[in-house]
């Protein structure tokens, strides 16, 4: 999926030419809505965006106090995801979808983050200024901060701070907020901040392999650690066996290159949390208005610039999108399609992007490609080389 901002909220589209985030936002779709480096990432949907965080446990405490701000250092916004309630209908007639979604040189060259500055507005008022927008906080007597409003240009709206998280000793923090507007309805905003400082060297591999952050750009999970992905929410448990099967297919390919453990979570934070990865089936949320177009999966990934590894990734499987296939519940056809989407989205989770040149791949848009193929194996082996201890034993 390639996401593009076609209608801004509160003038937020003014930022489109200024933003260049390192977010990875991938899906399996027949319509152009994937990652769009250099723009705000926007999902126009049918339904309440809160469905994307259904069942999650929120921590609405701001992770720092007013007196801590001078010592926090400088941060940049490295990801901003805007999910809106009301759908904007875009015709899919006569479009070359694979060409639109293929990575371009201009996208690969756009890697700058957006500066975020902490500003004191008054004795008990602070803001995080991000170019043309700002999040305003009130400070209590004890220094506890509460998010109160969002300003864009000269407009201001109340905002609810739903969830915050901190990772890597304060190297990164995230903010999840909810806003309501007349034109777009409810909006979820997920922002990720990265402290300015030394960045890990960028490893380059074979550019014939498409990875989430560009052809040949090697940003994997840290394979010295076990990666945990949690099956989150009651709805997800109904599909747990098929989900585990699809992930296990990748584990057979990975072998000792990366250890992945699948767990069940009854309590879990929202997708914006930087320390917890979920795979969640979303029950009542339509991603595509056009009934001829399906977008049954979405993967949201974030790298840690200081380490050069993936910090967090979350997968959504959209039940209302699967309903468009019109396969009977429990049928072999639905099972094959579901497994294809799980394998595809978990490929994104591991760091693979879409394949557009016609090579047989689970990462292509071709629904006939429902297995893991030679291209996928070669790409994942380059992304996850054997650790020295395993190389020595061969």
Summarize pLDDT for 62-114 with one digit per residue, the tens.
999 999 999 898 999 999 988 888 755 554 455 455 555 555 443 443 356 78
- In a domain? residue 146: no
- Return the number of other C-beta atoms located less than 10 Å from residue 326's C-beta: 9
- In a domain? residue 364: yes
pLDDT of res. 10: 38
- In a domain? residue 379: yes
Position 45 confidence tier, pLDDT thresholds 50, 70, 90:
low
In the structure encoding, which two tokens stand for residue 131, read together?
């170019």
Contact in structure between 343 and 356 (CB atoms under 8 Å):
no
Q: What is the pLDDT of residues 179-222, one digit of tens each?
A: 998 877 899 999 999 999 999 998 999 999 999 999 999 999 99
- In a domain? residue 37: no
- In a domain? residue 151: no
Please state the rounded mean pLDDT for residues 301-323: 91
CA-closest candidate to residue 24, choices 335, 274, 352: 352
pLDDT at 322 over 80: no
**Residue 280 is part of which domain span?**
203-389
**CB contact set of 332 (below 8 Å; sequence gap of 6+):** none
CATH code of the domain covering residue 249 = 3.40.390.10
Query: How many residues does the structure list for the chain?
Result: 394
Could you tell me whether strands 226-232 and 278-282 are parallel, antiparallel, or unpaired per DSSP bridges?
parallel
- Cα 351 → chain centroid: 12
- In a domain? residue 175: no
Report the C-alpha gap between 141 and 144 in whole angstroms.
Answer: 7
- In a domain? residue 38: no
Q: Residue 53 carries which DSSP code?
A: G
- In a domain? residue 122: no
- The pTM of the whole model exceeds 0.95: no
Name the helix (H) or strand (E) containing 259.
strand 259-265
Report the C-alpha gap between 351 and 310 in whole angstroms.
Answer: 8
Q: What is the pLDDT of residues 149-175, one digit of tens each?
A: 999 888 899 999 999 999 999 999 999
Report the C-alpha gap between 367 and 178 in whole angstroms.
Answer: 35
Average pLDDT taken over every residue of the chain: 83
Domain count, the chain: 1
pLDDT of res. 289: 57
- Higher pLDDT: 29 or 345? It is 345
Please state the rounded mean pLDDT for residues 14-29: 44
């Amino acid at each position: 999926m390639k996401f593009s901002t076609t209608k801004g909220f509160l003038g937020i589209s003014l930022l489109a030419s200024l933003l260049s985030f390192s977010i990875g936002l991938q899906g399996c779709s027949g319509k152009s809505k994937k990652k769009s480096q250099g723009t705000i990432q926007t999902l126009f949907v049918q339904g309440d965006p809160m469905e994307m965080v259904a069942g999650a446990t929120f921590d609405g405490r701001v992770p720092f106090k007013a007196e801590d701000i001078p010592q926090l250092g400088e941060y940049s916004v490295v990801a901003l995801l805007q999910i809106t309630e009301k759908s904007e209908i875009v015709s899919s007639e006569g479009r070359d979808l694979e060409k639109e979604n293929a990575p371009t040189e201009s996208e690969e060259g756009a890697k700058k983050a957006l500066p975020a500055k902490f500003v004191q507005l008054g004795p008990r008022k602070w803001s995080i200024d991000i170019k043309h927008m700002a999040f305003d906080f009130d400070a209590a007597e004890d220094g506890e901060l509460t998010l109160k409003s969002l300003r864009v240009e000269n407009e201001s709206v109340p905002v609810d701070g739903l969830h915050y998280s901190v990772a890597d000793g304060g190297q990164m923090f995230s903010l999840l907020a909810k806003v309501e507007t007349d034109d777009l309805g409810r909006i979820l905003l997920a922002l990720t901040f990265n402290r300015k400082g030394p960045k890990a060297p960028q490893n380059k591999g074979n550019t014939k392999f498409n990875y989430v952050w560009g052809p040949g750009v090697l940003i994997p999970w840290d394979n010295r650690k076990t990666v945990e992905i949690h099956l989150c929410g009651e709805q997800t448990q109904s599909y747990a066996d098929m989900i585990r099967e699809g992930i296990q297919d990748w584990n057979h390919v990975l072998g000792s290159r990366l250890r992945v453990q699948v767990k069940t979570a009854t309590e879990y934070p929202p997708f914006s949390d930087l320390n917890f990865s979920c795979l969640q089936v979303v029950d009542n949320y339509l991603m595509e208005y056009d009934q001829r177009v399906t977008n049954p999966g979405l993967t949201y990934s974030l790298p840690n610039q200081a380490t050069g590894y993936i910090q967090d990734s979350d997968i959504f499987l959209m039940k209302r999108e699967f309903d468009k296939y019109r396969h009977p519940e429990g049928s072999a056809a639905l099972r094959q399609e579901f497994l294809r989407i799980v394998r595809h989205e978990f490929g994104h989770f591991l760091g693979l992007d879409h394949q557009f040149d016609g090579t047989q791949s689970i990462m292509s848009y071709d629904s006939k490609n429902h297995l893991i193929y030679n291209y996928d194996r070669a790409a994942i082996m380059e992304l996850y080389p054997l650790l020295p201890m395993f190389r020595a034993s061969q």
